[in-house]
Structure 1
C-alpha cells in the first residue's frame, strides 16, 4: 500500500515546457559548414572533374543551418553540377557515392523538383532513377522523414 506523505516535490516540474505551442527549433551549431565553396566547385567543373564537384557539394551541404539564403545558394550550385553531368555518366557518378551522399543527393533532387527550370525535370528524373537503384526505397523514406532539409 502507498505511503501517504505531505511531500510536494513532484509539483516542482514545469509542465509548460512540454507545451507544443512553446516549441523552439533546435539552434544551429556554428561549426556546421555554411555551404559549398562556389569558386572551388566552378573550378572543378571547368576542369571537367564532375565527380569531385558533386562530392564537394554533397559533403558541404548546409543541412544544419536555418539560413534559407545559404540553402538556396547551395541548391542552385548543386543543380548546376547535376545539370552539367551528361546523362551517360550519371550511373558511374552515382555508383562512386556513399549511401549518405546518395541520401543528400535525393534531398537535392526532390528540392530541385520543387523549383523546376527549363529542361531540369527530365534530367533530375534520370538522377532519381540512378540514385534509387543504389539507395533503394530506404533512401526515399529517410529523405522524406528527415527534419533536416537542404
Structure 2
C-alpha cells in the first residue's frame, strides 16, 4: 500500500493537461475515405511501376499521406506501398527521383524512412535500402528536412 500513490493518473486531475489532439489537427477526411484513397493510389501505383515511372509512383504515394488516429489500416497500406517503391528502385536513380519531389513530399518521404527504420524485423523492410535513401535525401533536401520531420506532430 505504500506505493499505491504511484498508480494514480495525476493528469486526470489537472485542467491544463495537453492532449495529442491539441497539438495537431486530425485528418479532415473520414477513415473509410482515407482507406479508399490509399487503395486507389495503390492500384495507380502498380501501373506507374509497370511503366517504369518510379518518380511518379513515389510522388503519388507521398501526396496526401494518411495521418492521425483511426486510420491505421491506411497507414500500414501506404507504408507497404512506399517500401515497395523504395526496394524496387536502383541506387543510381535515387538522387534524380528525390530532386523531382517537392519539399513537402521530401519531408513525407523522410517520415516514412524513419518509420521503416523503427520497424525492426519486418521482412519487407531492408535497412540498407532505407539508409541509402536517407543519405541521398539528406544530400538533396539538407538537414532541415530532418528537423522538420522531427518537429512535425503528424505521424505517418
TM-score for the superposition, normalised by structure 2: 0.76
By how many angstroms is 1:71 displaced? 0.7
Asked if residue 130 in structure 1 is aligned to residue 127 in structure 2, the reply is: no
Q: 4+ residue runs of structure 1 moved beyond 6 angstroms? A: none
Tell me if the contact between 1:94 and 1:131 (Cα under 8 Å) persists in the aligned partners.
Answer: yes
Q: Does 1:111 align with 2:111?
A: no
2:93 to 89, 93, 98: 89
Looking at structure 2, the residues matched to 118 and 45 of structure 1 have their Cα atoms a distance apart, in angstroms, of 17
The Cα shift of 1:30 comes to 2.0
Structure-2 separation of matches of 1:24 and 1:130: 32
After superposition, give the CA deviation of every residue in 1:11-61 in whole Å (9 maximum; x if it has no partner): xxxxx995207x362443127972532111011111111111000001131
Match of 2:45 among 27, 34, 41: 41
- SS, match of residue 124 in structure 1: helix
In the TM superposition, residue 119 of structure 1 has moved relative to its aligned partner by 6.5
Please give the alpha-carbon distance, in whole angstroms, between the structure 1 residues aligned to 2:136 and 2:154: 23
- How far is the alpha carbon of 1:146 from its aligned partner? 0.8
Structure 1: state its 5+ residue gaps.
1-15
In structure 2, what is the Cα distance between the partners aligned to 1:119 and 1:68?
18
Q: Does 1:141 align with 2:147?
A: yes
Query: Structure 2: how far apart are the matches of 1:61 and 1:24?
Result: 19
Q: Does 1:20 align with 2:26?
A: no
Which residue, 50, 66, 79 being the options, matches 1:75?
A: 79
* Aligned length in residues: 134
Distance 1:89 1:24, change over 3 A: closer
Q: Distance in 2 between matches of 1:138 and 1:50?
A: 25
